[in-house]
Amino acid sequence: MKSYLLITLFALASLMSCTNSKTQEAGNEEVEENGQPGVVVLSTKQQQALHLTVGPVQKRNLTTVVKVNGQLEVAPAKKADVTAIVGGNVKKINVFTGDKVKKGQTLAVLEHPDYIKLQEDFAVVANNQEFLEQEYKRQKELYENEVGSGKDYQKAKTEYNISKAKYQGLKSRLELLNLSPEEVKKGNISSTITIVSPLTGYVNEVNIKLGTYVNAETILFEIADNSAIHADFMVYEKDVHLLKNGQKIHFTVANQIGKEFTATVFAIGKKFDSNSRAINIHAKINQETTGLIPGMYVTGHLHTDNIFTNSLPNDAIVKEGAKSFIFVVDSTYKSTGKTRFKMREVIPGKIDEGYTEVSFIDKLPENAQIVMNAAYYLFSEMNKDELGEDD
């Protein structure tokens, strides 16, 4: 019995010793992870709480730049003011502000007695045209065979040509009103006309309501093709001599915080604004323009040369004394739910619009991923771990 108790006590002591050893090893391993000089380990939850982002070194032009501002615009050929061509009463409105429409889509329906009269006039002229054409051909044949008189032939020719001109004029007017001349010839008369979109785009303005009378000059709708949006910037007189087509502009839009766009200058104005002493330049946006709306305010900087250097956001760099550092993802570290970052020294250069030029003391690994926005936090966390402070 005593032998059995001794064996049991020895087994329990061995198990507790093994468990304590494993616990101590795990603790030592965690301390070793964050206790190494220039190293910090963060869990996935910590990274999410920081909204931490990583990315490669960026090539940016931080040399000669010109500060610019302006707004988003659509080219004149890509926007339209829709009118009625002829007056009428609004019978139906098919769209709302903000709707996307296709070229030829019906926007509204108008009605008026004048539309009926126009079609009746065309029907009369069209039917008479056939008779005059036949009479003209008959008189021409008689005249050429020296049977009919020249006077009758000339009269038939004149009446036919007058009728033909009137026929073509009325036909063109019907087509402008989106009425079918062929249907009118068959006797199908309509009291309404349709107003259609001249291009594919978005409805920016609706200036009518049901029952109101609109004349030919009234702007019923404003349509714009926002896919053709570009950026217009103002450049002051002192910087005009630096401008060239093809130059790049980095800019931001007020409603898209944290997102940067690039554009390429394609046209430079030739006239100064008398008040601001500046000229307009037009630039094609190089990214997807979804969400951008004409009239939005934009601000940025134009690069006057093509010298691009290694650059990082200012928040990617932390300073300690006279030195500057960044944090790079350790791609060799494998641990579920954790990422290890190594501190690397850099030499900062020019600073512009939230970015800093950097030179590296040691060459970075290929495709290195750098912390872009939380270097100060990682630096503080690393120092805390190195000093052995408790969480």
The answer on 343 and 243 residing in a single domain is no
Range of the domain at 245: 65-77+226-308
Judge whether 22 lies within some domain. Answer: no
The answer on 199 and 118 residing in a single domain is yes
Judge whether 29 lies within some domain. Answer: no
Cα three-residue angle 182-183-185, rounded to 5 degrees: 65
Out of 23-37, 106-120, 156-170, 297-311, least confident range: 23-37
The answer on 98 and 208 residing in a single domain is yes
Q: What is the pLDDT of residues 101-130, one digit of tens each?
A: 999 999 999 999 999 999 999 998 888 888
Cα 79 to Cα 226: distance, rounded to the nearest angstrom: 9
Structural tokens at position 179: 């009425």
Judge whether 20 lies within some domain. Answer: no
The answer on 284 and 318 residing in a single domain is no
Judge whether 102 lies within some domain. Answer: yes
Q: What are phi and psi of 101, to 5 degrees?
A: -130, 155
Cβ within 8 Å of residue 274, ≥6 positions away: none
The answer on 219 and 105 residing in a single domain is yes
Is residue 76 helix, strand or coil?
helix
Cα 359 to Cα 279: distance, rounded to the nearest angstrom: 37
Cα 328 to Cα 313: distance, rounded to the nearest angstrom: 14
The answer on 125 and 156 residing in a single domain is yes
CATH number for the domain harbouring residue 319: 2.40.420.20
Judge whether 242 lies within some domain. Answer: yes
pLDDT band at 385 (very low <50, low <70, confident <90, very high): low
- DSSP H or E stretch at residue 39: strand 39-43
Judge whether 1 lies within some domain. Answer: no
The answer on 193 and 105 residing in a single domain is yes
Model's pTM, two decimal places?
Answer: 0.57
Is residue 113 helix, strand or coil?
helix
Among positive and negative, which fits the CA dihedral 145, 146, 151, 152?
A: negative
Judge whether 356 lies within some domain. Answer: yes
Counted domains in the chain:
3
Cβ within 8 Å of residue 271, ≥6 positions away: 279
The confidence score (pLDDT) of residue 367 equals 86
Helices (H), 36-112: 44-50
The confidence score (pLDDT) of residue 18 equals 43
**Of residues 32 and 141, which shows the higher confidence score?**
141
Nearest residue to 189 via CA among 174, 203, 176: 174
Out of 9-18, 82-91, 358-367, least confident range: 9-18
Judge residue 135's burial from the number of C-beta atoms within 10 Å of its C-beta, 0-12 exposed, 13-18 middle, 19 or more buried: middle
Is residue 106 helix, strand or coil?
strand
The confidence score (pLDDT) of residue 213 equals 95
Residue type, 358: V
